[in-house]
Structure 1
């Protein structure tokens, strides 16, 4: 299997990393760069948190990716970005830190496997050598000079208190070659032993090479005290990847956050989770087995039409064995499955501390448990499966241990969430996950399950409310935590002559009822199950009162429960006409300005470096040659972190002294642009470089040192030239004469809002009760005026002037409407569905933003003009609601 194209959310994360690295160089301070980058990306600059024990201004950031989002693949893709855009070096050393040996072994195996997507992602960095820590202890200088070296290890492996960890800091004859011909600043910066000598140790090799740290599953790694020992290696930066970053004790700098909704929209995970509770453990297993058979039948039907083979698995969480009491341990569960459920022994595997069948399965079948020939359908575990175990065909969790074991539930839920092949199936049932939990309290179980998804899998609270649903309609009435504020339970009052004996009831049931001694009334405040109604009725004194309680219990779970569904939940559709464009004889959605037909030949443009280019090169040269960035009170030179990093890497990775032709060839190779012919790019680069080399003080040695910066300047120049060409074509095609023949609105091009794809970066959490928003969630507003505009729209919907409206999101597939411009996309604030099906788009602009929004007004006006009356567009400022009023008609 080779590499694959990144999903949109993955590309977004990679773009954020690239932007941050660029700002680190532009601004000189990674801390300032983090705040500036988050401001540009999300509209709000975030504070930068330093990490104790490390350099104060070291680049340190986090990618928050929920379970099932491909964190490891993203980390591998980031290595090339680290080399090119942060270190500006052909090669580097990466310390890839994982929380356990099992995950270390699995990660290293995949990084080395040339057929794995992980290896393909890592190969973006060019020649790569992946090693474990033992192999790194005999690392040669030639390997470091000719490839990017990735060392996969646990944090604990660097602990000086451990025997293996101590070897990292001890002198080794095999490493002596790394310490020959060192520059003075390099030698001064090395670690010394207790006697003051400089050991030829792996620790000092790493310190010379300024390793970049990739911390996988950071929520497990950062809590270890041994993490602080890594500061001894003088790292060039830290990238954390986790579903649940720390926000309090040691706050992570979250640069980019991905939601579970985005993973669902891009077919990475199976949602929603359909939950059923059952007090009888045998029935719980039977329900899970029946569901598995239904899924298998659906998978077999799909395969007959050409779909890949699929064997859905059930993960059964058994109870621990106890000496003091009888429990539902793995042997009892195995006996039930192979006895009463009629499964063959070959259909059930056990993975517990007492017995583990998985290693033998891995040896027997080429693809292990996922192999088509493997007969296993059920896997019985207890606390957790082996770390690193992965099988996306696991669909069903059957928990006989409840949801109290947090770690086990988190891990097992994560096992059933991944979508096989990261591609949705034709049958909806195969795009969902299933949980059967032995419990008599659905409400508490659903709430606990949601809490574990938030705390362990990185789901957002608002999203998880919708992604855990009742599997049986009769239990849906008890799911009060699924739609906070949108489920209203009317109290049911029962007059009684005597006080009922409520203390005899289970504590959860006591919390659902209330006795008023003065009025002698029993009030049922939450829905009761039939069993709970019977238990409550048994506390009454007479048969008549008992019958009244049973009747009241039925009312409490039926007519007393009012569920306020959003338009999306009611099945209403929202689809907005997009702009279509005739291109090369074909009508296609206009979602990329690059589809415009425009001439672009680099050979016709001025190839001289600009004054800004020369200034950037001058600044970079001062940094690389240890130019002063600041001066201490004592008069010593003080370097900024980026300046010091570039200096140290300049010592370690000495550039090759290429001639003009070889350097031009390297620049062309590293300027990928499919829309430019090689000949025109080669001519442009050669002329640009030749002109640069004629500048005073610039020679080939300097150009070689700064080739990554040269590549960046050329890339920016070509991008700017292309943007000008695109802008001219855009104006001609969309606004020139004859545009009605070239541009169409609507028809087959509709941008549909997915009922389950709404994933705002931040939710509105105010007190205003929006009742006509298309989704149950509402994205946060950018300003007070924008919030007031939303309130006004909701009030118009309440008066029947529109059916519903939606807070449009930016760059969220399935929940975003945009209009393509020459230099980006315009995402209006609000989309309104009018009574007769027309679409009204509303954009609110503050006074300062109005002047810069002319191109937004132009494209919005064109879209409405060409829609033949189906669409209307309004841009409002200064609370001029009258403009929207006029558009409503």
Structure 2
């Protein structure tokens, strides 16, 4: 099984988690969260124990993030090499699936843990915990996978996890009283007189007021990291009590739909980010069928046939195997078209082979033991009613056909979630295979679009601004040519932005507003244009109650987002001019190479053994109360806590070997020092450790106890060494400072430009533009990293209005969406990229006055000017400040 390379948004989510964990150790959970997230921390039931959430929409890869989060939190929060993690899931089916993935050698989820802990890692169910030998706790990382229901109960005595069990005798015997003391503060952790009275064996009589020998108590002694999957299901008093009983060290929640008032969302991923990384198929091509279910079923079958033909062409061109599948949501039993009747209809009326169809309901388990991704699997149609079996996945699902009304189909989001996932998370060569398809029984496209949008927003973790660009009508797509959908292009496009307000009376004032129409018999209003502030005020005037007014505001915001999506140039297929990247030649006759910071680093040498390199400015150690043993086991370095009898406190002599500590550092910093060979790494780390031991007189025990701080100090210092070397080389070879000898020939590479593509703008959810001003020329439907006021907002307005600008992009400083120029530190993402009416491209950077003389800002300006100067007047660069902004913009674009 191929390893998973983390997507950019996943790396950013993990970095946010790492930054928070490190800050929380110093500042506390609440202060660290407020500083990082910019809002108040909800302490809730867990007090000082950090409890934060990564909000990942459906299809975003929550499980792989959880697997990477375990070693990250063990390192940055707990400072442990062998943590205990309790991984809680919402159902037994998902528990079985997660266990299988984490126990399968080579599976990407397991690989994330093995990379940190080796194959000695233990992944087990609750019933296997007692079988782990006591010495392994603290020596081997342990991941326990369970359902939240296993711990959620009114009476602790009713669950095996809380029950007294002699199988845990060897785990509790000999544990010092001081170590057991934390259990006395936990709910239901002690044996009560009532427990002893109910015990027919009489064993508990001698344990009254003592901690139970129970699974839950033993886990609580380990202070586990707790991962809560689908965490919105665990926001109940019973769940809070269950988690408190486990004495967690840190709680990480993962969900697409967090409960706002009870969740500390640390990082929020948007649908745009998923689409830009090829995790989901977008847009969802939505066709309504007012004629009823027969038309929807026929069109879904035809769509699948067209997609399979596209898939065969794609595979012939070298892409992976895909066999598109339709997911049918049939009527309930007793209604017109239940699953068995739909299967008969497909076979008898549409002449589909019976072995191409399976039924998956509570009674009929046609999917059991079927590998849908296998090349020899014949299945092309799956029929269900409500929800497919939890834990089931369908990598080739492309078409959703719902015979039910979307407004009443409570499980449509589960089906749609499977249709959204991109096979292999790789963009396909045939554009039709990059989209999802939905056929629904609805009277109008507007009705279907809004019903589907409600499902995407309310149940699947997407935002209204995401959904705005997620839905498309089929009329303009080549795949649909020849299908009689009775959907003229103008009706489909106009209907998408129509919203019905049934509870609003068509007053003369409202009907005078642009795009407002009265429904027949005065049944409300239909709005088909952008709703401005005056129209919204008139609508709100007819609504009573804060809750209903807020619902109306959300409805207006969703309508305006859909309208904006239809107006954006990218939606209409307009192309953005290619933007050339910078490249270099070592001399005039040499080949052209991409110019990146890494290329500059390859041209310099860092003396890793110089006196300056082996010193760690600012690093210090502090004596810690816990002792540990350090050694080698199965070719890996191991550390474990040791009691005082095994290893007395002695700061002057120790049996720990310095080279074993160097080995641990080598394993911990392998990625951070990957540009060095192992012998170079070992020599450098040995020199660092020796400097601390002999020049700084730090005891080896203190170094080993502070090993995580030591590793971070080495990581930061190594980065500073590289940065200093890169800055010197960049100024000489790229900017040509100092002497011309050795300088590179730098020029734009028009053969491999950056291209802004529709649907590939990874706008972070947390930084979406929410202002009222409507930007008419922004290329993408969604705009991010821009506030609704301030100097940068004014700059964006001037660009949007400028007569020389055809369209523009708020440039994002994330891959793969943004355009960047290289610098000595990495990359420079100018604030705005514009295509001008004369075909030129422009990079525009707005800079506050306080940064004008910053050395790095000066370097960025020099790189931008070099890029424009070398472009033969096909590109321009503008460095803009607030004073005289309009005149500066005119001059830059002239």
Q: Fold conserved (TM > 0.5)?
A: yes
Instruction: Find the counterpart in structure 2 of residue 722 from structure 1.
Output: 722
Aligned length: 781
Instruction: Find the counterpart in structure 2 of residue 209 from structure 1.
Output: 222
Of 823, 826, 836 in structure 2, the residue corresponding to residue 824 of structure 1 is: 826
Distance 1:515 1:380, change over 3 A: closer
Matched, 1:855 2:878: no
* Partner SS for 2:734: helix
Distance in structure 1 (CA, Å) of the matches to 2:132 and 2:70: 20
Distance in structure 2 (CA, Å) of the matches to 1:608 and 1:766: 51
User: How is 1:536-555 mapped onto 2 (pairs within 5 angstroms)?
Assistant: none
Instruction: Find the counterpart in structure 2 of residue 664 from structure 1.
Output: 662
Distance in structure 2 (CA, Å) of the matches to 1:75 and 1:425: 28
Instruction: Find the counterpart in structure 2 of residue 498 from structure 1.
Output: none
Distance 1:880 1:513, change over 3 A: farther
C-alpha contact (below 8 Å) 1:786/1:844 kept by paired residues: yes
Distance 1:811 1:583, change over 3 A: farther
C-alpha contact (below 8 Å) 2:469/2:565 kept by paired residues: no
Question: Quick check: 151-160 or 602-611, which moved more?
Answer: 602-611
Matched, 1:275 2:273: no
Question: Quick check: 597-606 or 391-400, which moved more?
Answer: 597-606
Distance in structure 2 (CA, Å) of the matches to 1:829 and 1:258: 21
- 1:383-425 per-position Cα deviation (integer Å, ceiling 9, x unaligned): 0100010011011111001212353111000011111111122
- 1:200-243 per-position Cα deviation (integer Å, ceiling 9, x unaligned): 22222112211001111112233472343211221110111111
Distance in structure 2 (CA, Å) of the matches to 1:594 and 1:59: 41
Instruction: Find the counterpart in structure 1 of residue 554 from structure 2.
Output: none
Instruction: Find the counterpart in structure 1 of residue 681 from structure 2.
Output: 681
C-alpha contact (below 8 Å) 1:447/1:481 kept by paired residues: no
Distance 1:115 1:682, change over 3 A: closer
Instruction: Find the counterpart in structure 2 of residue 541 from structure 1.
Output: none
Distance in structure 1 (CA, Å) of the matches to 2:89 and 2:7: 24
Instruction: Find the counterpart in structure 1 of residue 380 from structure 2.
Output: 377
Instruction: Find the counterpart in structure 2 of residue 794 from structure 1.
Output: 800
Distance in structure 1 (CA, Å) of the matches to 2:742 and 2:839: 26
Deviation at 1:20, TM superposition (A): 2.1
Distance in structure 1 (CA, Å) of the matches to 2:445 and 2:790: 40
C-alpha contact (below 8 Å) 1:514/1:524 kept by paired residues: no
Of 325, 339, 342 in structure 1, the residue corresponding to residue 351 of structure 2 is: 342
- 1:325-363 per-position Cα deviation (integer Å, ceiling 9, x unaligned): x4221122111111101012211111112322122xx1x
- 1:770-795 per-position Cα deviation (integer Å, ceiling 9, x unaligned): 21222232225255111111112222
- 1:813-867 per-position Cα deviation (integer Å, ceiling 9, x unaligned): 23x1222211132222122222212222222222333333323222222222222
Of 101, 106, 110 in structure 1, the residue corresponding to residue 101 of structure 2 is: 110
Matched, 1:226 2:232: no
Deviation at 1:313, TM superposition (A): 0.9
Of 185, 189, 210 in structure 2, the residue corresponding to residue 197 of structure 1 is: 210
Matched, 1:159 2:165: no
Distance in structure 2 (CA, Å) of the matches to 1:377 and 1:3: 28
Distance 1:471 1:61, change over 3 A: same
Distance 1:268 1:282, change over 3 A: same
Instruction: Find the counterpart in structure 1 of residue 842 from structure 2.
Output: 840
Distance in structure 1 (CA, Å) of the matches to 2:837 and 2:330: 54
C-alpha contact (below 8 Å) 2:287/2:440 kept by paired residues: yes
User: What's the TM-score once normalised by structure 1's chain length?
Assistant: 0.82
Instruction: Find the counterpart in structure 1 of residue 86 from structure 2.
Output: 95
* Partner SS for 1:753: coil
Distance in structure 2 (CA, Å) of the matches to 1:84 and 1:259: 28
Distance 1:178 1:523, change over 3 A: closer
C-alpha contact (below 8 Å) 2:468/2:781 kept by paired residues: no
Question: Quick check: 571-580 or 732-741, which moved more?
Answer: 732-741
Of 452, 457, 460 in structure 2, the residue corresponding to residue 449 of structure 1 is: 452
Of 151, 166, 169 in structure 2, the residue corresponding to residue 176 of structure 1 is: 169
Matched, 1:423 2:426: yes
Distance 1:135 1:396, change over 3 A: same
C-alpha contact (below 8 Å) 2:842/2:877 kept by paired residues: yes
Instruction: Find the counterpart in structure 2 of residue 519 from structure 1.
Output: none
* Partner SS for 2:142: strand
Instruction: Find the counterpart in structure 1 of residue 505 from structure 2.
Output: none
Of 59, 63, 69 in structure 1, the residue corresponding to residue 54 of structure 2 is: 63
User: How is 1:512-661 mapped onto 2 (pairs within 5 angstroms)?
Assistant: 512-513=519-520, 565-570=567-572, 571-582=574-585, 586-593=591-598, 595-596=600-601, 597-614=603-620, 617-618=621-622, 621=623, 658-661=656-659
Deviation at 1:280, TM superposition (A): 2.3
Instruction: Find the counterpart in structure 1 of residue 303 from structure 2.
Output: 291
Deviation at 1:104, TM superposition (A): 0.5
Deviation at 1:711, TM superposition (A): 1.6
For structure 2, the residue ranges without an aligned partner over 5 or more in a row are: 184-188, 193-207, 477-486, 500-515, 530-562, 628-639, 648-653
- 1:36-76 per-position Cα deviation (integer Å, ceiling 9, x unaligned): 344xxxxxx33322131x2x222222111111111101111
Instruction: Find the counterpart in structure 2 of residue 491 from structure 1.
Output: none
Instruction: Find the counterpart in structure 2 of residue 547 from structure 1.
Output: none
Deviation at 1:321, TM superposition (A): 1.6
Deviation at 1:484, TM superposition (A): 8.2
Instruction: Find the counterpart in structure 1 of residue 195 from structure 2.
Output: none
- 1:292-323 per-position Cα deviation (integer Å, ceiling 9, x unaligned): 1111122223333443332211111011123x
Distance 1:208 1:455, change over 3 A: same
Distance in structure 2 (CA, Å) of the matches to 1:653 and 1:598: 52
Deviation at 1:276, TM superposition (A): 0.8
Deviation at 1:608, TM superposition (A): 4.7
Distance in structure 2 (CA, Å) of the matches to 1:431 and 1:775: 18
Instruction: Find the counterpart in structure 2 of residue 735 from structure 1.
Output: 735
Question: Quick check: 16-25 or 252-261, which moved more?
Answer: 16-25
* Partner SS for 2:76: helix
- 1:716-775 per-position Cα deviation (integer Å, ceiling 9, x unaligned): 221211111111111111112278852112322312111112233333222223212222
Distance in structure 2 (CA, Å) of the matches to 1:460 and 1:649: 46
Distance in structure 2 (CA, Å) of the matches to 1:836 and 1:253: 48
Instruction: Find the counterpart in structure 1 of residue 313 from structure 2.
Output: 301
Instruction: Find the counterpart in structure 2 of residue 710 from structure 1.
Output: 710
Distance in structure 2 (CA, Å) of the matches to 1:653 and 1:819: 59
Distance in structure 1 (CA, Å) of the matches to 2:56 and 2:14: 12
Distance 1:466 1:719, change over 3 A: same
C-alpha contact (below 8 Å) 2:732/2:743 kept by paired residues: no
Distance in structure 1 (CA, Å) of the matches to 2:51 and 2:223: 14
Distance 1:231 1:820, change over 3 A: same
C-alpha contact (below 8 Å) 1:392/1:418 kept by paired residues: yes
User: How is 1:326-365 mapped onto 2 (pairs within 5 angstroms)?
Assistant: 326-359=335-368, 362=369, 365=370
Distance 1:242 1:739, change over 3 A: farther
Distance in structure 1 (CA, Å) of the matches to 2:165 and 2:379: 49
Matched, 1:266 2:270: no
